[in-house]
Amino acid sequence: MMKEYEHKDSLYGRDLITTEDWSLDEIMRTLELAEDMQKNRFSPKYTELLKDRSFFMFFHNPSVRTRQSFECAATELGGHAQYLEPGGMRLKTKKTAGETIEDTAKVMSRYAAGIGIRILEDKIASYGEGDNMLREYAKWADVPIISMAHDKYHPCQGLADIMGLRKHIGENLKGKKLLLYWGHGALARSWCSVQEALLLYSRLGMSITVAHPEGYDLDPEVIKTTKLHCKEQGQKFEIIHDTVKGFEDANVVYARNWMSPNAYHDGEFHKEEEIVKALKYTDWICDEDKMKHTDDGLFIHPMPVDRGHEVTDEVASGKRSIIYDVAENRLHVQKAIMALTMSEKYR
Ligand code: CP
């Protein structure tokens, strides 16, 4: 839903729950601004864009990159990012009485220029609940709602990945092959980063191979949309269950653990069950032997990396790994997102 002050050609006031909700032109505008913000990090053209403004951050789950990069982003734009502890706010939940999303969103909109929300894993009872929650906030808030990673999507991560690929491969990603590879991690990860990657990389013309053991299917709707993007772009899409085959000729290898569709049952997230199950697949690790089959492929990962499970140290810290560039990009893309959606200059 458009907020009343939105203009068709401006991103001012827009929510960002997944990059699928933004046009390709809007995505490219954001990436180009982020790239310029990286080159001219402390230029006066950027340092007062959010002067005296606050960005509120609801973190239902922990974070290293997202929290620090949003705080730095707000500071570098002349504003302030405020960390909110949802557990201390008497919010209404399925189990407890408290303030509704409508009231919370309306009140927060009176204070802040924008609101970020992270909700993942054990903080929801079923897949999709986090996405519904963000969309409910977006319905009632008068300021942009930005996903800081929720059960379905992680748009800031997707944009940071693409910024990294543009630097290391070039602006035209069409025809480059992504291998999205399931790693046997010990963290039972949400689907947000890998699903955002599938949607965005395919939209930008990359061919996609997803490799995972049987029983680790992702959201069928996301797979359907990814397939459609690949078809529109004339690119291949495949899902395989082989530990090595997908590495053949890959330009980018994204090795990451993700939970199985059975992680949520009986109204709860079963983390320990998922970990015990995942750790049995010891062959599912990205290592140097497998990377030798690629077309001098880059290694990408949203971090935190589960070294020794998802990927070996040798690959994660190797010369083709771009993990730290991508982590840095979180700062630049979030500055661009905040500027375009919250600063009067881009209204
Ligand atoms: N990639 C990412 O979102 O990292 P954090 O969980 O540390 O924020």
Q: Is 68 in the pocket of ligand 1 (CB under 6 A)?
A: no
Question: CA 286 → CA 157, 165, 208, 243, 307, distances in Å?
Answer: 21, 19, 17, 9, 10
Of the listed ranges 95-104, 151-160, 243-252, 333-342, the least confidently predicted one is 95-104
List of residues 6+ apart from 346 with CB closer than 8 A: 10, 11, 12, 339, 340
Instruction: Determine which residue's CA is closest to atom 6 belonging to ligand 1.
Output: 63
Taking the CB of residue 227, how many other CB atoms lie within 10 A of it?
16
Q: Look at residue 185 in the predicted model and tell me its pLDDT.
A: 87
Q: How far is the CA of 148 from the centre of ligand 1 (A)?
A: 9
What is the arithmetic mean of pLDDT over 115-127? 96
More confident residue, 343 or 86: 343
List of residues 6+ apart from 338 with CB closer than 8 A: 49, 50, 55, 73, 74, 77, 79, 113, 114, 146
Q: Look at residue 91 in the predicted model and tell me its pLDDT.
A: 86
Residue of 117, 177, 158 lying closest to 20 (CA atoms): 158
Per-residue pLDDT band for 233 (boundaries 50, 70, 90) equals very high
3-state secondary structure of 237: strand
Q: Is 302 in the pocket of ligand 1 (CB under 6 A)?
A: yes
Question: CA 244 → CA 77, 142, 312, distances in Å?
Answer: 45, 49, 15
Atom of ligand 1 nearest to the CA of 62: 6
Q: Look at residue 5 in the predicted model and tell me its pLDDT.
A: 46
Going along the chain from its start, the domains and CATH numbers come out as 19-153+327-346 (3.40.50.1370), 168-322 (3.40.50.1370)
What is the arithmetic mean of pLDDT over 150-173? 98
- Which pTM was predicted? 0.96
Per-residue pLDDT band for 87 (boundaries 50, 70, 90) equals confident
pLDDT digits (tens, 9 = 90+) for 45-62: 999 999 999 999 999 999
pLDDT above 90: residue 198:
yes
Instruction: Determine which residue's CA is closest to atom 7 belonging to ligand 1.
Output: 64
Burial (CB count <10 Å: 0-12, 13-18, 19+), residue 229? buried
Q: Look at residue 95 in the predicted model and tell me its pLDDT.
A: 77
Per-residue pLDDT band for 334 (boundaries 50, 70, 90) equals very high
Q: Is 303 in the pocket of ligand 1 (CB under 6 A)?
A: yes
Half-sphere exposure of 3 (CA within 13 A, CB side): 24
Q: Is 298 in the pocket of ligand 1 (CB under 6 A)?
A: no
Q: Is 66 in the pocket of ligand 1 (CB under 6 A)?
A: yes
What is the arithmetic mean of pLDDT over 31-40? 98
Taking the CB of residue 163, how many other CB atoms lie within 10 A of it?
24
Interatomic CA distance for residues 5 and 277, integer angstroms: 49
What is the arithmetic mean of pLDDT over 229-247? 98
Q: Look at residue 8 in the predicted model and tell me its pLDDT.
A: 59
Share of the chain above pLDDT 70, in %: 98
Q: Is 330 in the pocket of ligand 1 (CB under 6 A)?
A: no
Would you say 193 and 256 are in contact if contact means Cβ atoms under 8 Å apart?
Answer: yes
What is the arithmetic mean of pLDDT over 252-261? 98
For a ligand 1 pocket test, name from 301, 306, 330 the mutation site with the most ligand atoms within 8 angstroms of its C-beta.
330
Question: CA 155 → CA 63, 196, 248, 277, distances in Å?
Answer: 15, 6, 28, 29
pLDDT digits (tens, 9 = 90+) for 258-300: 999 999 999 999 999 999 999 999 999 999 999 999 999 999 9
Calculate the average pLDDT of the chain.
Answer: 96
Instruction: Determine which residue's CA is closest to atom 3 belonging to ligand 1.
Output: 66
pLDDT above 90: residue 305:
yes
